[in-house]
Structures are given as structure tokens and as C-alpha cells.
Amino acid sequence: MRCGAVVVGLVAIAACGDGGGDEPPAPTDRIDDDIARLAGLVGSTQVAKGLAGTDVVAVHTVDQVGWDEDGDQVLEIERPTDALYAEYEAAADELAMAVRRTDTGGTDHVAFRDRGYAAAGVTEEYAGGDTTPHRHEPGDTYDTVDVDYAIAAARLVTRVVSREVAAESWRP
């Protein structure tokens, strides 16, 4: 269930504008092409390979953001560069959220970092111990997802990515 949310998040983030409003701009041909290209690939390693030769500002992976048993709304940012973590801290502050930096590996963001991309993973408190007990089990169903928490995670990532998209410094 949580892996499917990543695809939804990718589409939602790709359609975002400056992160300041509720209405995303109309998708551009570039966004449509990127979604189509990425949708045909399977797994983070394949996506990372498919990006070869592409000018990538940063990669943000979202994995397991549906469990917050203690209700503190904390999200972990896995192995971010210093610059990426600063972006997440600023966005979290604006959204009245909390983020914690971790050194967690063995997940999707590693495939991108191994290929030289600035990458960070966004997750529930896996390292902090507030993580789903249903991971990779038959009980990992929609009923166990904290939808408000997942929405908060999407808003955080959207804010960070929207700023990157709006920044003039990376554009060709």
C-alpha cells in the first residue's frame, strides 16, 4: 500500500507550482514526459539509471509515510546533503512540522546517491521507532495508514521540490 503512494506523490509533486497555493499549475509537456518515462521503469535503481545524462537538481524519495502512532507528526529525512536538510528544515518550519535527520540507508534514495545525485529519503520515524508494525506483512493495508500524516509528508516534500523548481540558479 505505501509503495503505491509514492507513485501518487510523484504525480502530485510533478504538478506543483511554487508551493504557496492550493492550485497546481497546468502540467507542462516536460512534466508529462518525465512522468511517462519514469512510470515505465521499475525500482529505484532502474529510475536512477534512466536519469543518466539528465540535469537533476535533487532526488527526493518518499517511503513509508503512513504510520504515526505517537501523533507527533515527525518525519525523518534520510541521509540528506547539508543543503537538502536545510531545505527540509525551512519547509518544516513554515508548515509547523518537525523533521529529524537520520543516517538510514538500504532504501530507494541510496540508488540515486550512488550515481552522484543529491538525494534524501523522507519517511515515518523508522530510526526513531515509531514505524508501522505491518511492514511487508499482509496487515499492511489502507486501514493502517494515517492519512493526515501522509498528507503532511506530501505537503512537506511538495514545498521543498516546488522551491527547487522555482529556483533560477539550476535552469539551463
List the CATH number of the domain containing 136. 3.40.630.10
Phi, psi of 76, rounded to the nearest 5 degrees: -95, 140
Q: Tell me, yes or no, whether 96 lies in a domain.
A: yes
What's the pTM value of the predicted model, to 2 decimals? 0.72
Range of the domain at 60: 2-166
171 in a structural domain: no
Can you give the pLDDT of all 172 residues of the chain as single tens digits? 333 334 334 444 444 434 444 444 444 444 444 545 555 445 777 778 877 877 788 888 888 888 899 999 999 999 999 999 999 999 999 999 999 999 987 777 788 888 888 889 899 889 998 888 887 788 878 888 888 888 899 999 999 988 888 875 555 5
Quick check: 15 and 34 in contact, CB under 8 A?
Answer: no
11 within a domain of the structure (yes/no) = yes
How many domains does the structure of the chain reveal?
1
Core vs surface per residue 67-91: b (16+ CB within 10 A) or e: bbeeeebbbbbbbbeeebbebbbeb
